[in-house]
């Protein structure tokens, strides 16, 4: 592949090529080579359109399309030699195409610019990543649903402020994450639908005088339609920002569950046992089994958040249309996409492999006076007591149980009647954790019946 290309891109406008520093800051081939497949797909679609509209001969178009397949094969096999002097993936591909087919290669760029070319390539790449993220999230949701199905009626403590609040079921807790990641799924699908307009044919910024068919290239590349405004088409990076925004919210959800796994797998909780596949040992403490995969997910999330902020900062002050600043749009998106997919895969593996410790969950479910709200509700229902009064009576009984170093069900009827004489034996029917969760039959509640309904609903949605 030829290397003497110092002036190739800029033609006769400049007498000398860029020096080493300018070349280093200007070149993007070190990272945008990841878009090679998308670049070649866009060029093949463009060449086919140029032939159909009579702008290019069929012979030249066929030579271009076959030559591009050869270039793609070289890139995929690792034999392609990328050149920093050629600046980016577009010029590297075009230069190699010229080596292969000669003069017709120079006709490929008719009716387009690198501005609409890079916007098209990048949008195709992001769209592929959205599809991958959708698949990864669906797999993770399936893992959570499977856990929920196993423990739909297992009791565990529900927390607020990381303090025991009320008993819930394991299945209900797992399904909470299904809802979270379900929203992530929806966000990525929405972003994909909104971004699916083709920039190709917007040219540098104003469109082109050639009689191109933008509908044809849009359809060939799987877009719903061409972008309606050529200025916006080359200046738009909303699709990348929406990807990063959706990825950031999804990453936040991953980090929340990662934190729960770190807590739950500790010796103090023993709620779950993580598999050896996603744990490590200590170099000095032989008893340790560290939840390193969860901790690394928790940390990697910062890179995704950082990418989102970085691209917002790149784009925030740019006038229409293209500025070279926008070359800095890719590296953080590539990094965020890589880390999101890695985190999704690792979390799916951990959720599938983890074992919930039913006995530990149930033992903890009744701690911390977790059925206090059930007691207050019983006072309201059975004694027609105003809730604020019931709250006060319950608080007094909690204080009594605390002073006796026992839980609410361990108080005697006489103990309870010393606080309020109207309390009857029936109160003990609501104080057990299983009674508590079974009573929460409101839609979206923790009752096993409701949990199983939600499991069935999601299984039907996932197919």
Q: Which long-range contacts (CB under 8 A, 24 or more apart) does 448-451 make?
A: 448/152, 448/153, 448/169, 448/171, 450/172, 451/148, 451/152, 451/153, 451/169, 451/171, 451/172, 451/175
Strands 197-198 and 225-226: parallel
Which residues does residue 198 pair with via DSSP β-bridges, in sequence order?
Answer: 226
Closest CA to 236 of 118, 109, 331: 118
Alpha carbon dihedral 63, 69, 73, 74, in 10-degree steps, equals: 40
Which one from 161, 209, 403, 421 is the annotated catalytic residue?
Answer: 161
Does residue 161 have an active-site annotation? Answer: yes
**Cα–Cα distance for residue pair 237/120, rounded to 1 Å:** 11
Q: What tokens were used for 144?
A: 């959570």
Geometric angle at alpha carbon 317, from 312 and 319, rounded to 5°: 120
> Which residue's entry shows tokens 């990543």?
129
Which one from 266, 282, 367, 457 is the annotated catalytic residue?
Answer: 282
Q: Which long-range contacts (CB under 8 A, 24 or more apart) does 317-321 make?
A: 318/235, 320/205, 320/231, 320/232, 320/235, 321/115, 321/205, 321/231, 321/234, 321/235
3 state DSSP class of 286: coil
Residues carrying an active site annotation: 161, 282
């Amino acid at each position: 592949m030829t290397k003497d290309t110092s002036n190739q891109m800029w033609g006769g406008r400049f007498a000398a090529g860029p020096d080493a520093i300018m070349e280093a800051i200007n070149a993007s081939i070190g990272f945008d080579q990841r878009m090679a497949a998308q670049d070649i797909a866009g060029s093949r679609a463009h060449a086919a359109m140029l032939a159909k509209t009579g702008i290019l001969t069929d012979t030249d178009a066929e030579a271009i399309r076959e030559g591009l397949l050869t270039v793609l094969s070289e890139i995929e096999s690792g034999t392609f030699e990328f050149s920093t002097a050629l600046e980016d993936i577009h010029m590297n591909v075009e230069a190699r195409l010229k080596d292969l087919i000669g003069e017709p290669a120079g006709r490929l760029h008719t009716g387009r610019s690198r501005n609409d070319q890079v916007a098209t390539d990048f949008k195709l790449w992001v769209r592929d990543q959205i599809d991958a993220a959708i698949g990864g999230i669906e797999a993770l949701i399936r893992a959570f649903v499977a856990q929920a199905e196993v423990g739909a009626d297992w009791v565990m403590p529900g927390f607020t402020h990381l303090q025991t609040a009320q008993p819930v079921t394991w299945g209900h807790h797992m399904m909470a994450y299904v809802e979270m990641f379900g929203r992530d799924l929806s966000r990525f699908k929405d972003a994909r639908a909104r971004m699916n307009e083709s920039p190709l044919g917007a040219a540098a910024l104003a469109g082109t005088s050639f009689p191109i068919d933008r509908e044809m290239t849009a359809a060939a590349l799987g877009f719903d339609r061409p972008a309606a405004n050529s200025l916006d088409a080359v200046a738009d990076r909303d699709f990348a920002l929406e990807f990063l925004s959706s990825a950031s919210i999804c990453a936040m959800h991953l980090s929340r569950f990662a934190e729960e796994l770190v807590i739950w797998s500790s010796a103090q909780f023993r709620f779950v046992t993580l598999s050896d596949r996603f744990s490590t040992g200590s170099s000095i403490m032989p008893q340790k089994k560290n939840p390193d995969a969860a901790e690394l997910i928790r940390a990697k999330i910062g890179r995704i958040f950082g990418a989102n902020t970085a691209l917002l900062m790149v784009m925030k002050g740019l006038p229409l249309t293209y500025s070279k600043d926008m070359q800095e749009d890719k590296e953080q998106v590539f990094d965020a996409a890589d880390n999101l997919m890695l985190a999704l895969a690792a979390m799916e593996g951990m959720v599938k492999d983890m074992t919930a410790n039913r006995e530990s969950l149930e033992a903890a479910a009744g701690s911390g006076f977790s059925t206090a709200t059930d007691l207050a509700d019983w006072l309201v229902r059975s004694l027609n007591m105003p809730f604020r009064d019931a709250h006060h009576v319950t608080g007094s009984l909690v204080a009594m149980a605390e002073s006796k170093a026992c839980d609410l069900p361990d108080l005697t009827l006489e103990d309870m009647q010393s606080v309020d004489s109207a309390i009857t034996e029936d109160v003990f029917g609501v104080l057990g954790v299983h009674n508590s969760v079974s009573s929460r039959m409101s839609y979206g509640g923790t009752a096993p019946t409701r949990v199983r309904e939600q499991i069935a609903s999601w299984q039907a949605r996932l197919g």
